[in-house]
């Protein structure tokens, strides 16, 4: 308790974030396998789809980015930082705290309220970062998508997720994204790929071009 406010410390979630996993893999030149990437994004998207599917009113997370997705020692994913989240149709207007993941309709001068489609946009930027290992730099986003061209199913869904402001209706729902990712994961598993489980610890500062990391990748094992 602090000033009458209760806090809960969940020790198994203090190993790091998805951003740290990406940085640790790159710093050790031991890059995430396609299966590992899919494992992360399926769990992450599943959590967002759950929030978006709540009844009678969905929740908008409003701050989706890899630094807000925590990872346990055995690569289980938990979406965190729901401080900006609010009920759809609520009068509260909250937006992502990082402009690099911000949907175009949330940028000034428009500054529309955060919504389910704006959540999907932020999720799409995060997925592209995980699949390519490149930080969320808007000027490089087309190049990142080009890197994914041979993963046709993922390329298509991510391209739709980050549709421009005038094509918001083209963005899929988080549930539709999840279905595509699960289908891709099932195909990878069906082809017999194995995951390398990683145990990550360290600290992370910054995003995009300002990213600096001091992360160590501890023992990896099959």
The token pair at 200 is 């990550």
The token pair at 20 is 């740290």
**Spatial distance between the Cα atoms of 52 and 49, rounded to a whole number of angstroms:** 5
Nearest to 123 by CA among 79, 74, 58: 79
Is 3 one of the annotated active-site residues of the chain? no
Dihedrals φ, ψ of 221, to 5°? -150, 160
Helical axes 116-132 vs 18-27, angle rounded to 10°: 20
**H or E stretch covering 79:** strand 77-79
Instruction: Give strand pairing partners of 212.
Output: 205
Question: Among the options 3, 63, 164, 170, which is catalytic?
Answer: 63
Instruction: Look at residue 2 and give its three-state secondary structure.
Output: strand
**Spatial distance between the Cα atoms of 174 and 120, rounded to a whole number of angstroms:** 6
Instruction: Look at residue 201 and give its three-state secondary structure.
Output: strand
Residues designated as active site = 63
């Amino acid at each position: 308790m602090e000033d009458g406010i209760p806090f809960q410390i969940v020790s198994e979630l203090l190993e790091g974030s998805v951003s740290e996993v990406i940085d640790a893999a790159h710093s050790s030149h031991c890059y995430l396998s396609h299966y590992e990437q899919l494992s992360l994004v399926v769990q992450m998207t599943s959590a967002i789809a759950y929030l978006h599917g709540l009844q009678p009113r969905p929740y908008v997370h409003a701050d989706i980015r890899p630094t807000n997705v925590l990872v346990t020692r055995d690569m289980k994913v938990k979406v965190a930082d729901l401080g900006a989240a609010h009920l759809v149709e609520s009068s509260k207007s909250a937006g992502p705290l990082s402009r690099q993941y911000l949907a175009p309709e949330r940028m000034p001068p428009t500054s529309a309220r955060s919504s389910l489609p704006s959540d999907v946009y932020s999720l799409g930027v995060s997925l592209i970062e995980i699949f390519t290992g490149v930080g969320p730099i808007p000027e490089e986003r087309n190049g990142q998508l080009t890197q994914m061209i041979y993963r046709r199913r993922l390329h298509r869904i991510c391209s739709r997720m980050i549709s421009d402001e005038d094509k918001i209706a083209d963005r899929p729902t988080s549930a539709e994204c999840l279905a595509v990712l699960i289908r891709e994961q099932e195909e990878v598993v069906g082809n017999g790929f194995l995951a390398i489980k990683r145990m990550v610890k360290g600290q992370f500062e910054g995003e995009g071009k300002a990213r600096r990391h001091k992360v160590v990748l501890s023992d990896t094992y099959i």
